[in-house]
Structure 1
Amino acid sequence: MITIRPAQAEDAEVLPQIEQSAGEAFRAIPELAWLADGDNVSVERHCALIAAGACWVAADGKDRPVGFLSAGIEDDVLHIWELDVSLDRQGQGIGRALLERAVADARRRGLAAVTLTTFRAVAWNAPFYRKFGFRALEGVEIDGRLAGLLADEAEHGMPSDQRCAMRLDLR
Structure 2
Amino acid sequence: MVRWAEPDELPGLVAIELAADQLFEQVDIVFPPGTTMIEEADDPLSVLVEGTPPVGFALIAWVDGNLHLEQLAVHPDHMRRGIGGRLIAAVLEHARAAGAPAVTLTTYRDVPWNAPWYTRHGFAVMPEEEWGPELRALVENERELGIEIAPRVVMRH
TM-score, structure 1 as length reference: 0.84
Query: How far did 1:131 drift?
Result: 1.1
Number of equivalent positions? 157
Matched letter for residue 35 of structure 1: F
Matched letter for residue 93 of structure 1: G
Matched letter for residue 42 of structure 2: C
Q: Does residue 1:24 correspond to 2:22, yes or no?
A: yes
1:134-161: CA deviation from partner (whole Å, max 9, x where unpaired): 1111231222222211111111123376
1:75-104: CA deviation from partner (whole Å, max 9, x where unpaired): 531111110000111111101100101101
For 1:27 and 1:160, the matched residues in 2 are separated by 12
Q: Does residue 1:167 correspond to 2:140, yes or no?
A: no
Question: For the Cα contact (< 8 Å) 1:26–1:36, is it kept in 2?
Answer: no
For 1:56 and 1:27, the matched residues in 2 are separated by 26
Unaligned runs of 5+ in 2: none
For 2:156 and 2:80, the matched residues in 1 are separated by 23
Query: How far did 1:66 drift?
Result: 0.3
Aligned equivalent of 2:118: 129
For 1:159 and 1:41, the matched residues in 2 are separated by 14
CA 1:161 to 1:137, structure 2 compared with 1: closer, same or farther past 3 Å?
farther
Unaligned runs of 5+ in 1: none
For 1:108 and 1:117, the matched residues in 2 are separated by 22
Task: From the CA coordinates, give the structure whose radius of gyration is larger.
Answer: 1
Q: Does residue 1:46 correspond to 2:41, yes or no?
A: yes
Higher relative contact order (CA 8 A, sep 6+): 2
Aligned mate of 1:55, from 47, 65, 69: 47
Aligned equivalent of 2:71: 82
TM-score, structure 2 as length reference: 0.91
Percent identical among aligned pairs is 32
